[in-house]
Every structure is written in structure tokens, then in C-alpha cells.
Chains A and B, each alone.
Chain A
């Protein structure tokens, strides 16, 4: 029997690439943006959906320097806190591409999993690298996903309650993304058109992450 994943790959329906645009907005003007997004996105008649996630980044390192470390991001939802849903996310190196490509493209596997994932990864040899909380609003338009969120530093590790978090900045991160099967380049055009409609409130761009990590 062929497994579901290989069938998905063969027919090119397995979502494995993320198209991404990023920007930021100062907290003072965030509500204007939320209002705008509510009008532009699906389900305009409902209050925007909120989310509150705890992300733990695990790294698998080789004994030698030649082996590239692999990062898995484990996320769980903090609301409702008694029944969190967990998932593992793998993100590849992002490609900036040329001028003709309007978004960042990176490999992306988003895999829902059971709640013993932390134990599982530790036993596999992964070690916790860093963690943070993300809280904010979530919109979607068709298959495009827009999040307006703030990142919080955790003062105490492992216990993400309200008292032990401090906001990293005075602004919110705005992300527009689609996770799709390989080779669906036309999504980037849809995303660019959508991003145009949010100007001048927020400027969504391809952010070169290599430049951010080299300091």
C-alpha cells in the first residue's frame, strides 16, 4: 500500500511550500489595520478570531560541525488552556528569488500531532533551543492567512501564563501567508494584490531573513 504522504506528493496535493510576506505596525495604529482587514477578509460579519500560542523551538545537532542542525517548531494553543492542540512545523531556508517573484518562498511542513511531542522529540535527540508566546488576531481570505500578532518573551521557561511574559516590542508583526503544494506560483500574485490594499497602513514585503540573522 502506498502511504497517504507519497500519494499526496505524487499528485502534488501535499501542502509543502509557504509563500510569505511580512511587515509590522505600531500598536497605536493596530486597531485601524484590524478594522481594515475585517472588511477585506472572509467572515466580515464576525468578530476577528484571536489566538494565543506557545512556541518551543527544538534543534537536532550533529556531533560534527559538518551536519547542519535541524529545527522543529512545536506549537500549542493556549486557549482553551485545558485542551491544547499541538503541532510540529518545519521551515526550510527562505528563498528571496528575483524581482518577478513577489513573495518569500520556503519549504513548510505543518503537522498536527499528539500531546506527547515534547517527550518524543527529546528522546529522538532534539534539545530545546528557545521559546516564546505569540498572541494576536487571525483572518483568512480564501486560502490566504493574515495574522496580526505580538511576540512575548517568556521570563520563566515552560510556564506560559500571563505574569511571566513581556512584549518584545511596541509593535505588531503582520504576516500574510499561504501554504500550498509545490509550484503554484500564481498565489504570489494574489498575495501581492492583497498586500497593495493594505498600503499605506502596513507595507508587506519580502524580508530577507539571512540579513536578519547575520549581525
Chain B
């Protein structure tokens, strides 16, 4: 477990998502990385009904990652992230009169996982209700646990792999965490940030098409 950066990779006009994914994978394979199976990160959103005493209507996002198969990450819209056993899903069911799952809210990023020395690459296609939304590329540098200590190295790797335009984006979340010990919960918060952006983009598009 090291430091992870999740990048949004734009799909240029005239190309399909699959073509772009193939391109990135080819690039990674040319580097000499080894395929090590598939990965998946999924997120479901639960919304509080109006019926909770003295509390604003909150949203709970439940994320799972194939990298931590026994865990469940619950992130509130306030940013608080609870890391719990996978059995936490059972607790959410017990709260169904208070927190309802939003229909069609499930969004996931899945694809190929690669290992390359101290690095792990994951190229994920993001889809919501089987609609393609975009591409997220995850780069992990395993030997380090403090983001600030390996940021430049990560940047260099992402520049050579994804191009400087993509490498420039740095999650606002990661910027605030540069000198703290990095945990898998931080990776999940980055994914959630991207998932929320995808959802926002969809609603803007829909509004423009109307």
C-alpha cells in the first residue's frame, strides 16, 4: 500500500472510450508493465429522507474496492470517511427507513490492473447504469506512504504515461494531505471526487440538450 493518484483522462472527440483505453493500455504495456488481473471500484449513494430529527439531509456514499475486498468505505457529504468491514452494507440495509438508495446511482470504474516495479497502474472505464461516462487512470507508488514525498516522482511518471495535460491535474483532496500518512480511504475519496464530477457533467449535458 503506497500513495495513489487518480487522474481523469479525457476522451477526444471522434474517438470511442474503448479506443482511448486500448491506447493507454498499449502505452503501459510498451513500458514493460505486467498484466495482473482486473480491478473494480464501485460507489452507491444513499440519501437521507426528510425524517431524521434535527439533522440536515445528508448523503452517504458507500464505496468498495477490489484492492481491499474485505472493507467498505462510507463517505459522508461532509467528507468524513468511515472505514469498516464489508458487513457495513448490512448495517445500511437496517437504516433503509432513514437512508434510501438512490435509484440508478451506482457508478463504477473497472478495467485492467498492471504492475511495473514499484508502480501499480489501473486503467478504468467508468460507467453508470451501463452508460459509459469516461476514463480514470490510477497510478500507485508502493514504497512511499507520504504523498508529499513522492509527488514529483508521480508527476514525472504520469507525464510520460498520460501526457502533461493530464498530469497537471492534482486532486484538491490530495493537496491538503501532502504531509500526512496516506491510507486507502484517501484513494476512495479521490474516486468519489471524480465520480461526483462525472455525475455533475451528465446533469449539465442533459440540461444543455433540453
Contact = CB atoms under 8 A, between A and B. Distances in A.
B188 to A, nearest CB: 12
A4 B48 contact: no
The contact size tier of chain A is: 20 to 34
A72 B81 CA distance: 18
A117 B76 CA distance: 12
24 contacts: A1-B40, A1-B66, A3-B64, A4-B86, A5-B87, A5-B90, A14-B90, A16-B87, A16-B90, A60-B95, A61-B52, A63-B53, A64-B51, A70-B94, A72-B91, A88-B84, A112-B84, A113-B83, A113-B85, A120-B76, A123-B58, A124-B58, A124-B76, A124-B99
A90 B89 CA distance: 12
Interface string A55-70: 0000011111001101
Interface string B66-110: 100110101010101111111111110011011100000000101
A63 B56 CA distance: 12
B206 interface: no
Contacts of B99: 124
The contact size tier of chain B is: 35 or more
A62 B98 contact: yes
Of the candidates B64, B76, B85, B110, the one having the most CB atoms from chain A within 10 angstroms of its own CB is: B85
A125 B99 CA distance: 11
Contact of B95 (A1, A3, A5, A70): A70
B76 A125 contact: no
B84 A111 contact: yes
Interface in B98-131: 98-99, 108, 110
Contacts of B97: 62, 67-68, 70
B95 A4 contact: no
A97 interface: no
A110 interface: yes
Nearest to A6: B89
Contacts of B82: 113-114, 116-117, 120
Interface string A61-105: 111100110101000000000000000101000000000000000
The majority secondary structure among interface residues of chain A is mixed
Nearest to B57: A125
Contacts of B147: none
Contacts of B42: 1, 3
Given A16-B87, A112-B85, A114-B82, 10 more contacts: A5-B90, A16-B90, A62-B53, A67-B51, A90-B91, A109-B90, A120-B76, A123-B76, A125-B53, A127-B53
A60 B52 contact: yes
A113 B185 CA distance: 12
Interface string A13-43: 0111000000000000000000000000000
Nearest to A71: B94
B50 interface: yes
Contacts of A16: 87, 90
Nearest to B56: A125
A119 interface: yes
A11 B82 CA distance: 26
B87 A111 contact: yes
Of the candidates B54, B55, B81, the one having the most CB atoms from chain A within 10 angstroms of its own CB is: B55
